[in-house]
Amino acid sequence: MKNNYEIKNIAIQAIQEEAKAVAALAQYIDDDFVTIVNRILNLQGRVVVTGIGKSAIIAQKIVATLNSTGTPSIFMHAADAIHGDLGIIQQNDLIIAISKSGNTPEIKVLVPFLKQTKNVLIALVGNTASYLAKNADYILNTTVEKEACPNNLAPTSSTTAQLAMGDALAVVLQECRDFTDRDFAKYHPGGALGKKLYLRVGDLSDQNGKPSVQQQATVSDIIITITQFRLGAVAVLDEDRIVGIITDGDIRRMLEKHTDLARITAGDIMGKSPKIIDKNELAANALHIMRENNITQLLVSDKNYYAGVIHIQDLLKEGII
């Protein structure tokens, strides 16, 4: 049984070994890598990624990353390929075969069939002298010195290296395509991530109404308006233009200082430099501004005109926080 110190030390050593393996990949970013990037950028078909065992799991992750960053891709299990799934491969596709050794029986059976398709074959491989590497058109070298496994057997450093090389390829392709956050949002419409990428301020503030008073409004009018809309704030306007904001905190501080409220107006109480966000901005940007300024609501504008209020509770309800 290992003690607490030994458990921590083993975990640290495993992480350090894998980090070392990933760092070493930098030396393998060569002309083949550049050629592969250009081939994919000019591809008329899809990237077909295949592998077996742990490499198959990495292949699926690489496919998911490529798809989400603008490179159409599909996974083909190496074992299933020779039992009918070779039909996945179309004329204009490019194939990436993943293997640590490049010499497994399944790979040796599969490669000749892949060559028959006459598609470009890329070996993402940890052994550049292997059968797979020698039969590939281009190589993505993921050689590692040793596995993080104490017996140097279980795929650990090698699969981490495969994953990192796949990520490097996806990121370069993304940059080359000028793939923006808006493009990314098209492929991630669901969940909190999707909402951060497509949900706009106006989508939320339009549900809240538009609490506002003019500069001459009385304290009574201000309190009634804040209470009615339950957003903790009210915009102070000069006609339709924002000139200030009054929060419920401003009201409390005012009551501590003044007893005669008859002559006090909104213009006397308001904060004259309110934080304002355009209704077409991402809701995630509203969250950033709130956190940066330690506030819970923002006034919303539409072409310099008042359009409402967005509250931090709106962001909580949508799961953006």
Helix/strand/coil for 102: coil
Q: Give the torsion through C-alpha atoms of 80, 81, 85, 88, to 10 deg.
A: 140
* pLDDT (0 to 100) of residue 185: 64
**pLDDT of 161 above 70:** yes
* pLDDT (0 to 100) of residue 258: 77
Which amino acid does the sequence have at 126?
Answer: G
* pLDDT (0 to 100) of residue 170: 96
By C-alpha distance, which of 136, 148, 126 is closest to 17?
Answer: 148
* pLDDT (0 to 100) of residue 280: 95
What's the farthest any 2 CA atoms get from each other in the chain?
A: 92
Say how far apart CA 48 and CA 86 lie, in whole Å.
10
- Please, are residues 143 and 128 in contact by the beta-carbon 8 Å criterion? yes
Q: Which of 26-40, 171-185, 217-231 has the lowest mean pLDDT?
A: 171-185
Distance of CA 36 to the CA centre of its chain: 24
The pLDDT-based confidence of 255 (bands split at 50, 70, 90) is confident
Tokens standing for residue 76: 């083909």
- Please, are residues 107 and 99 in contact by the beta-carbon 8 Å criterion? yes
The CATH architecture one would assign to domain 4-179 is 3-Layer(aba) Sandwich (3.40)
**pLDDT of 288 above 80:** yes
Mean pLDDT across the chain: 92
* pLDDT (0 to 100) of residue 193: 65
pLDDT tens sequence across 46-67: 999 999 999 999 999 999 999 9
Say how far apart CA 24 and CA 161 lie, in whole Å.
9
Angle between helix axes 31-41 and 157-176 (nearest 10 degrees) is 50
Tokens standing for residue 221: 């009018």
pLDDT tens sequence across 76-101: 999 999 888 999 999 999 999 999 99
Q: Is the dihedral of CA 103, 123, 57, 145 positive or negative?
A: positive
Query: Distance of CA 101 to CAs 63, 98, 108, 144, 153, Å?
Result: 21, 9, 11, 11, 12
The pLDDT-based confidence of 187 (bands split at 50, 70, 90) is low
| Higher per-residue pLDDT: 301 or 82 | 301
pLDDT tens sequence across 188-241: 666 666 677 678 999 999 999 899 999 999 999 999 999 999 999 999 999 889
Say how far apart CA 43 and CA 71 lie, in whole Å.
9
Taking the domains of the chain in order of start, what are their residue ranges? 4-179, 201-317
CATH number for 201-317: choose from 1.10.760.10, 3.40.50.1820, 3.30.1300.10, 3.10.580.10.
3.10.580.10
